[in-house]
Amino acid sequence: MKKQLFTLSVITSLIVAPVFAAIEATPNSLMIVKAKYGQSNHAKSLSAQEAARIVQNKFGGKILKINNSGSKKNPSYRVKLLKDNGHVISVNVDAYSGRVSGN
């Protein structure tokens, strides 16, 4: 009886929560990677506050303005910052990688 219940519970859990796999080809091998249903190809993008924090940690100073820029496929933020020395700089922050460019 216990064995039948165990088998039934295993089968039920496999039916209710299926695992999908994505196949990734590398030059000399084939790799199967577990993937969740509906998972997008892009990593989670940064929020405007996270982008501002990255810029402030890199340059110091005070954040003046944050604007969305880029496109849906390649989102980014334009961050304007008042540095401690009085200079105002404007930089781009990639929303996926957090990479800062321009100043």
CA atoms in the 13 A half-sphere facing the CB of 28: 0
pLDDT digits (tens, 9 = 90+) for 5-32: 677 666 666 565 555 544 454 555 555 5
| Nearest-angstrom CA–CA distance, 12 and 69 | 47
Enumerate residue ranges in the chain where pLDDT < 50. 21-23, 25, 38-39
Q: Which fold has domain 48-101?
A: Nuclear Transport Factor 2; Chain: A, (3.10.450)
Given a contact cutoff of 8 angstroms between Cβ atoms, the answer to whether 70 and 78 are in contact is no
Q: Domain locations in the chain? A: 2-35, 48-101
**Residue 27 confidence (pLDDT):** 55
The DSSP secondary-structure symbol of 74 reads S
CB 101 within 8 A of CB 89: no
Q: What is the DSSP letter of 45?
A: P
